[in-house]
Every structure is written in C-alpha cells, then in structure tokens.
C-alpha cells in the first residue's frame, strides 16, 4: 500500500523513514563489530554518519537528530556552515568537516566546536592562529579550554585531497610549532572500494599503513584511524580500523560492485533498508490520438491511441531530465514509462495500460506501491549515474515527511 501523507499544496513529497535509517545504523554497527572480532581489550568501532549535502538530500537536521538518538558516534559534513546548522539544532556529537576548511572558516569552526580535517601542512598555521586567539584571556577568563582537535587527511592514492605520505615529516615539524592544536584522528579516502577488478584499494591500504607507521616513528599518535566508506564497510574488513564512515548504506543503498556478479553476494553481507520514498500525484490525464507528440520538442509520438498522465514532478524537484523517454514511475502498482522530455515542473507518463488510473493517483518515483518497487539504484542504473547524485538532486521545494 502506498502511504498517504496529508498536506496542502503542490502534490509532490518525499517520505523519510527514520525507522529504516536507524535500522541501517544499527546493522552497520553490528557488521563492523562482529562478536569476538576485535579482541576483548579493543574498544568497539565507532560510526561516523556521513550527513553532508543535506544528509544526501534527506534533510540534515531530522536525520542527525534521529541518528543521535540511535547513538551515532560522530557526524561528517562538508563545510563549517553544515556543521553550524547541526550545532544550532542541538547536536552535541563530534562533527568532522570532511573536506577541510577554506581560509576564513576557522572562527566558525572554533565557535561551533567542529573538528576540521587538515589537507595541507600550511593549514596548521591558520588553525593555530585562530586557536591561539580563541584561548586569549577575555574579561579575566580564558575563552576556550584545551587545544583545538583536528583530523589529518592522508592522500593514500586517490590523488584528490590530503597530504602525501612524503609530506608527513614536514607536517610533524609544523605541528610541533602549534601548541594550541591536537591531532585527534587520521584518515584517508578510498577511491574504488566497490571495484574488485583492480588492486587500487589494496595499494591504498599499504600506503595508508606506511603513513601511519611513519607518523608513529616520528612520535605522532595518529588518534582515531578511519578509512572505510560504504562499499569498504560492506566488503573489506581490513579497512575498518577504529571508525567507519557510512554514507550511501546509511540511507539504504549499496554501491554498484564490479564485476557486477558480485552485487548479490555483497548486498547479502549487510541488509539495509531504503530510507526515502519520492512521490507525486497525477494532476491531468489526456487521451491522445496516434501521431500526437508529447512535451517539449515533441520527443515522444503516440504510435496508437494513448492515455497520457501528467505528474506534478520535474527536474527542479529531482526527477532528473536524463530520464526523458527512459525512466518509469509506479501507478496503481504498475510501471508506467516516462514519455517525452522531463520538464522543470512536470513529467508525462504513458498510462495506456493502467485503465483504472485517475487524476489524483499517486505516481511513485522511488519506493514501493502495490507490491512493485523502484529503488533509487534502479533509477540510477537507467540514468547511468550514482544513487547519491539522484538523492542530492531532490529539490528544496519538495516537502520531506519524517515517518517513524
């Protein structure tokens, strides 16, 4: 049965199942902390929930609040603005700014007790300056107690962000001149954790281990060590370290493993539930004659008498334009092909085969209706993209309803 959410306004909405979200968090926690897995004296592995980009479109504040109640250990965001939004909403857990900071963001980072990632040795000096300023005595009282904690990002072979292992000695020298800073964690990011046709991840693990050994040899304690994203959490226990950083699987989506035959085996290792459903209503139905063309530039032509449903959903809402003449929606439990060009606010679907369909019916873009499911990864395959890109495309004007 399709859930009916009652509200006034344009009939398009997203349902976010907080029950599925917290189920996924618990499933991940159990998966990376198998019974007898770490030895009695090692603490359990922590979970840093990646909630950047508005929690992959699901809504950063309600998602963080639900995950906080379910005892997520850390949160990961992209920038200080996202971190500040979490603090304003009452989130108290540590928040790591995964992509570091840009000069000028230091003050907001410190004021909100966020944990920045350091990507270049020079950034230490900027942070040290801000940290020293924040500890100055003001009105007879020290403004902030203790050093400012940060995590160091190592580039172990993705060649995107992070310090190269050869820069560690230089980093250590600069850090020794920064008394107001403390290295509290060290991490790297894996480029191809879902790809089992190359050795790239194994090579990154070797490079990261060598970087950690180099740090220790210089007397630097790396703090909390972390590297695993979703596919690595599912499939590569050797990457789990002290903490894991799930994004996609937290929202219920597995990555596309390579080779594709691996997908069923990998998905069976960790059972997650999709968190989001995305629906709109049919706002108009037209009967068209053979030869009639539908939508901008007439990119679909009726071959026979057809019923065309128009949905209150377009690419500005997140029904992406590449689904023109390619995607499908579910109406009354049946798949209806998207026809013609998806426009900004409207999309047409061929409902010729669904005789009972009426204006006001729900069209499910992602989710389940009447026993038929279309998942975000199903659509991502059709659109030739990643599930995360589709989720991030969910428009600001789409109301999100948070269900238990």
Is 296 designated active site?
yes
Q: Which of residues 332-361 bind ligand PLP (CB under 6 A)?
A: none
Interatomic CA distance for residues 207 and 164, integer angstroms: 10
The 3-state DSSP class for residue 102 equals coil
Verify binding: residue 328, ligand PLP, rule CB under 6 A.
no
Name the catalytic one among 129, 142, 269, 296. 296
Q: Are strands 334-339 and 347-350 parallel, antiparallel or unpaired?
A: antiparallel
Interatomic CA distance for residues 354 and 335, integer angstroms: 9
Contact pick of 54, 186, 229, 343 for ligand PLP (by CB under 6 A): 229
Name the catalytic one among 46, 52, 251, 253. 52
User: Smallest gap, in angstroms, from Cβ of residue 161 to ligand PLP?
Assistant: 8
Q: Give phi and psi for 350, each to the nearest 5.
A: -85, 110
Q: Please say which residue, 11 or 247, places its beta carbon nearer to ligand PLP.
A: 247
Contact pick of 25, 86, 98, 175 for ligand PLP (by CB under 6 A): 98
Contact pick of 14, 16, 27, 50 for ligand PLP (by CB under 6 A): 50
Q: x/- contact string, 170-199, with ligand PLP (CB under 6 A)?
A: -------------------x----------
Q: x/- contact string, 241-280, with ligand PLP (CB under 6 A)?
A: ----xxxx--------------------------------
For residue 65, give Cα distances in angstroms to 59, 122, 263, 379.
10, 35, 32, 29
One DSSP character per residue, 371-390 reads TEEE-HHHHHHHHTS-HHHH
Helix (H) or strand (E) holding 359: none
User: Smallest gap, in angstroms, from Cβ of residue 294 to ligand PLP?
Assistant: 36
Q: Please say which residue, 215 or 248, places its beta carbon nearer to ligand PLP.
A: 248
Residue nearest to ligand PLP (CB): 247
Cβ within 8 Å of residue 372, ≥6 positions away: 330, 333, 334, 335
Q: Show the tokens assigned to 116.
A: 């920045």
Q: How buried is 303 (Cβ within 10 angstroms: 0-12 exposed, 13-18 middle, 19+ buried)?
A: exposed
Residues of the shown chain interacting with ligand PLP in the complex, contacts defined by CB under 6 A:
50, 98, 189, 229-230, 245-248, 388
- Give catalytic residue positions: 52, 296
């Amino acid at each position: 049965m399709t859930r009916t959410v009652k509200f006034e306004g344009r009939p398009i909405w997203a349902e976010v199942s907080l029950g599925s979200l917290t189920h996924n968090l618990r499933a991940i926690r159990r998966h990376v902390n198998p019974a007898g897995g770490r030895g009695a004296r090692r603490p359990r592995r922590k979970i840093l929930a990646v909630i950047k980009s508005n929690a992959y479109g699901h809504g950063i504040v309600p998602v963080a609040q639900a995950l906080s109640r379910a005892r997520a250990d850390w949160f990961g965001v992209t920038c200080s603005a996202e971190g500040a939004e979490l603090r304003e909403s009452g989130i108290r857990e540590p928040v790591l700014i995964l992509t570091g900071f840009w000069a000028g963001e230091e003050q907001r980072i410190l004021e909100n007790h966020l944990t920045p990632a350091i990507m270049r040795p020079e950034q230490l000096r900027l942070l040290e300056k801000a940290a020293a300023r924040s500890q100055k005595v003001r009105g007879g009282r020290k403004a902030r107690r203790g050093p400012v904690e940060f995590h160091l990002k190592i580039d172990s072979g993705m060649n995107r962000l992070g310090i190269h292992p050869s820069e560690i000695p230089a980093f250590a020298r600069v850090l020794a001149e920064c008394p107001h800073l403390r290295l509290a964690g060290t991490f790297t990011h894996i480029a191809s954790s879902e790809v089992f046709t190359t050795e790239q991840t194994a090579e990154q693990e070797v490079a990261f281990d060598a970087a950690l050994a180099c740090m220790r040899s210089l007397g630097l304690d790396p703090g909390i060590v972390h590297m695993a994203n979703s596919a690595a959490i599912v499939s590569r226990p050797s990457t789990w370290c002290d903490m894991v950083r799930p994004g996609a699987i937290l929202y219920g989506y597995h990555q596309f493993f390579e080779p594709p035959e691996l997908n069923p085996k990998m998905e069976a290792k960790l059972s997650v539930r999709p968190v989001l459903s995305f629906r709109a209503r049919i706002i108009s139905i037209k009967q068209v004659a053979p030869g009639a063309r539908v939508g901008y530039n007439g990119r679909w032509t009726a071959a026979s008498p057809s019923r065309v449903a128009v949905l209150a959903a377009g690419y500005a809402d997140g029904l992406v334009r590449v689904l023109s003449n390619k995607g499908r929606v579910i109406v009354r439990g049946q798949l209806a092909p998207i026809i013609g060009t998806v426009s900004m606010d409207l999309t047409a679907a061929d409902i010729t085969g669904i005789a009972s369909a009426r204006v006001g019916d729900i069209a499910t873009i992602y989710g389940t209706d009447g026993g038929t499911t279309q998942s975000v990864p199903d659509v991502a395959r059709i659109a030739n993209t990643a599930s995360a890109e589709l989720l991030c495309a969910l428009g600001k004007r789409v109301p999100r309803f948070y269900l238990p």
